[in-house]
Chain A
Amino acid sequence: MSVALVFVLACPALSRAAPLRVTLAVSEEGGAYQSFSETLRSKLPSDKYELKIKRADDSYGGADLYVAVGMKAALQLASRDIPTLNVLVPKAGYDKIQNQAAARTAPRSAIYLDQPIERQIALLSAALPGTRHVGVLYSAAPPELPSIRRLMKEKSINLHDRAVDHSHPLNDALESVLEESEVLFVLPDTEVYNAGTIRNILLTSYRKQVPLLGISQAYVKAGALCAVFSTPEQVAAQTIAMIERYAESGKLAAAQYPNDFEVSINIQVARSLDLRIKDADKLRDEIRRIP
């Protein structure tokens, strides 16, 4: 009997009659978290799925599948051996959870918040063809730096990197990397890029006529030239697809990058820098064609 119960629980496909219980554990209120939850609530068929939305600090109760929205919820759910899909988490964060996790039986997967480096480089090549020198700044060298360098090399782009630390304050590193670069390629590093530093970074790079390639819509609004990113709605659609597959097969697909994305351009910045750039939709279509 108990064996049968476990079997039934583990294979939701067999219990079609009862809706799949999905609990969302949301790290923060508002913003992207809210857009994601609302899209999920409106798009996930309510006859087949019973959706509960909880704050990361709440007690979650029982469910067939947990969706952790953001790192805070992901970390809280990481220690529990329950089926978990992590979304709005950076790949590096998810990798860390995977590496630290004890042996487990329940499936776990993720849809990363970041875009694959290939996609960002594709945007760079499509938006600014002919770029030969790209700069990056970081507080600690990210593990993917060698692969960024290699992928750029394949496109004949030289990567110039500078660490920002106590002996190399931001402005020194910035001025020095801008000397060598035609584009500043933003890395997800809040030590370097935050609301307090972005003024200086954008004003200095603008003065040197070096555009920024950002990692979110906020960067483009602030004054970066362009960015490729996925909206919470796009991530929600991909999440629904994974939930539906889980409902059918009882398996979670492997951790993956967002498959749908947007390109945003700050056309005023492009014009001011006298950069003739294709429009956002054209760029997105061009990048989509890249396998």
Chain B
Amino acid sequence: MRHGPVPLARLTLVLVYGSLLFAPGRVVAEDAISEQAYLQDLPVVLSASRLSQPLSEAPNAMTVIDRDTIRSSGYRNIADLFRLVPGMYVGYQDGYSPFVSYHGSTDNYARRMQVLIDGRSVYLPPFGQVDWADIPVHIDDIERIEVIRGPAAASHGANSTQGVINIITREASGEKGGRLSVNKGEAGISDTVARIRGAGSDLDYRLTLGERSDSGYASAVLNDSNMTRLANFRANYHPNAMDSIDIQLGYSEGVRGIGTVGRVTEPFRDIQTRSDFEQIEWTRALRQSDEIKLRYYHITRAYTDTAMPLLGTDVILTQRDEIELQHTFSPWADNRVVWGGGMRTDTLDDPASFSSPAPTVKQSRLFAHDEWRVTQSAVLNIGTMWENDGIGHHNNSPRLSLNYHLTPLDTVRIGVSRAYRTPVAFEEYSNTQYLVGKQYTSMGGLRPERMLSREIGYIGEFPSTSMTLDSRFYSDRLSDLIFLDPNPDGSMGFKNLYSFSVRGFESTLKYRWGENSNIVLNYAHQLMSCAATASLTLSAYNPLLQEYIDQCPKMVPLDSGSIMLVQQMTDDVALTVSYFNQGTLQLLDALEPQTQMNRVDIRITRSFGNLEKSGGGEVALVVQNAFQDNYTEFANTPQKRNLFFDRRTYFIATINF
């Protein structure tokens, strides 16, 4: 009896103290002033890989498309944004299949650029393409896109042959809350996206669910209505000040129309696509802003055509696993080294294209890159990537560039680099069993395509007029290009057949006047020359090859450019006007040249509240090709000849909660 109250009192005491100990900082902070503000440990947030290089110090020419630009554009598809990059081409082979190339492309599989999303390569076999429509990342979740114009294997890995599109998505961290956005408009446009975010002291996450559909070109000639659903999840766990674990999961599925009127081999039908990825990345911050990063990801992509003429069901299943370790540190004063290695395994299941199964390709690589501040005004970037491409080649892709600050505001960059493109599975191993149309039989033994790039650039800032200028002259030479080579049995193979050189000038001028107006002008001038470097297996066809070679310089428009004007009209009304000009051009396998493009896109928006905050949002009206310019698109069949991108208007309504 006597002992009863004592433990009770002690328990009460423990509970009271316990609750004080575990109470959030608020209680403590109000009660007492502590030295914790000065002595607390903080997690390393802006670690090496989160920081972007300023243009004046980057080893390559680079165009950055940030979140504001993405929003101002009003675009629904990621690929359309690349019209804002000088020298870049965005083509559509139907209403939902864009392809993006830089300095020309042989066909609608633009194979000579790497595309990375948070370090994950979405340039996939068997054809070497990026399927922009089924990437399980919503345009609204993109933080920024760095488009590296020029080879960058030393920093961005294999197949960064002509350049790299480096997409960085939004962090998981942010304020708790949600966002709902709906697009409705012409051409059957109907999109919905919802996002929620949560944040805690050591775990942040965001989840995006979206659906996107339209009726493509809305033409009777093409069956290209399409619908894509996607889910994207990102969580960041930071148990302590040094470690951060980032988990990303994505899934998308789509139903797309396929087929062309008047083509027996392409009857109207639907195909299904499915993509998913799982990615985990561990970053440990070391002293200064040094870090170690380990990344693993898996990608699955399935393409199912259940009504392929005669064949019945055609399934292409692509899987990729990759692991990469990267260490960033300063071994000596004024030097900063990024080095590491990675391994990638691509597996394919595509019985129609590979009657003997396509081998699993295991690529491995080592890379090292040093940024050396030789003097106050000279930054030397020197690096290389060594790779075993998994199909019998060892490639070394060095890059050397010098950025010299003539004044703190004027920089000259001189660079030279080499890079390779590994033949894709279809080029190296195809052995088709199609029941209709052309058969493909690869003879193997292809050499990688080789790139030698040289450039001299100037980056100037003119603070008094709020202007920046980024220009360069370049000369790129691609050798051993792979192209079609007819086999004696009537099937089609591939061979290293020709080379091309592109020389040109590119420039971006950004100008801001007043608080509310800014304009970005891009211009590219390109000159291409091509030469056959080998003979076809059947020499009788050589004149035909020569015809292609003669046409090859037309792969790039002589002149192209864009202007994007963003004007804040009042506190809550903003106007974006974009103008795109592209001279006439003809991809190598297109039937005829594309006509000149003079397209104007307009977006008017009225915002309410804070755009990123609960209760805030906006309504916008987007008119694409506002003045109905009848420019033609890429056409590799006669039926697609006069397919025009008709003016389309759609509304966007966005609300945060």
Contacts and interface: CB of A to CB of B under 8 A. Distances in A.
Contacts of B289: 221, 266, 268-269
B33 A71 contact: yes
A223 interface: yes
B32 interface: yes
B1 to A, nearest CB: 33
A195 B40 contact: yes
Contact of A223 (B41, B45, B67, B143): B45
Contacts of A215: 37-38
Interface in B45-61: 45-48, 50-54, 56-57
B27 to A, nearest CB: 11
Interface in B271-285: 285
A70 B40 CA distance: 13
A107 interface: no
Given A223-B46, A271-B54, A272-B51, A190 B610 contact: no
Contacts of B202: 196
A31 B39 CA distance: 8
Interface stretch (B169-177, B344-352, B589-597): B169-177
B26 A222 contact: no
A114 interface: yes
A194 interface: yes
Nearest to B144: A207
Interface string B10-46: 0000000000000001100100111111111111111
Contact of A196 (B35, B200, B610): B200
Given A203-B171, A218-B40, A274 B54 contact: yes
Contacts of B336: 268
A93 B201 contact: no
B472 interface: no
Given A191-B29, A268-B48, A268-B51, A216 B613 contact: no
B427 interface: no
A19 interface: no
Contact of A190 (B40, B175, B200, B408): B40
A202 to B, nearest CB: 4
B46 A169 contact: no
A81 interface: no
B39 A202 contact: no
A90 interface: yes
Contact of B32 (A93, A171, A195, A273): A93
A276 B610 CA distance: 33
Contact of B26 (A191, A199, A218): A191
A273 to B, nearest CB: 8
B241 interface: yes
A259 B391 CA distance: 66
A198 to B, nearest CB: 5
A158 interface: no
B117 interface: no
Given A175-B612, A271-B54, A216 B46 contact: no
Contact of B44 (A88, A176, A222, A272): A222
Interface string B199-236: 11110100000000000000000000000000000000
B490 to A, nearest CB: 57
Contacts of B41: 195, 218
B599 interface: no
B408 A276 contact: yes
A169 B175 contact: yes
Nearest to A276: B408
Nearest to A96: B33
Contacts of B42: 195, 198, 218-219, 221-222
Nearest to B408: A276
B33 A196 contact: no
B46 A202 contact: yes
Contact of A188 (B37, B47, B285, B288): B37
A88 B174 CA distance: 33
Contacts of A190: 25, 29, 34, 36-37, 40
Interface in A146-198: 169-172, 175-176, 188-191, 193-196, 198
A257 interface: no
Given A88-B35, A271-B57, A222 B46 contact: yes
B238 interface: yes
Interface in A217-237: 218-219, 221-223, 229
A170 B33 CA distance: 21
Interface string B561-585: 0000000000000000000000000
B245 to A, nearest CB: 13
Interface in A60-92: 70-71, 75, 88-90, 92
Given A169-B175, A200-B174, A90 B35 contact: yes
Interface of B: 25-26, 29, 32-48, 50-54, 56-57, 67, 143, 171, 173-175, 199-202, 204, 238, 241, 285, 288-289, 336, 408, 610, 612-613
6 contacts: A170-B175, A171-B613, A195-B241, A200-B174, A221-B288, A272-B54
Given A215-B38, A221-B288, 20 more contacts: A90-B33, A92-B33, A93-B35, A96-B33, A175-B610, A188-B37, A188-B38, A190-B25, A191-B29, A203-B45, A203-B50, A203-B173, A215-B37, A221-B42, A221-B44, A221-B285, A229-B38, A271-B51, A272-B46, A274-B54
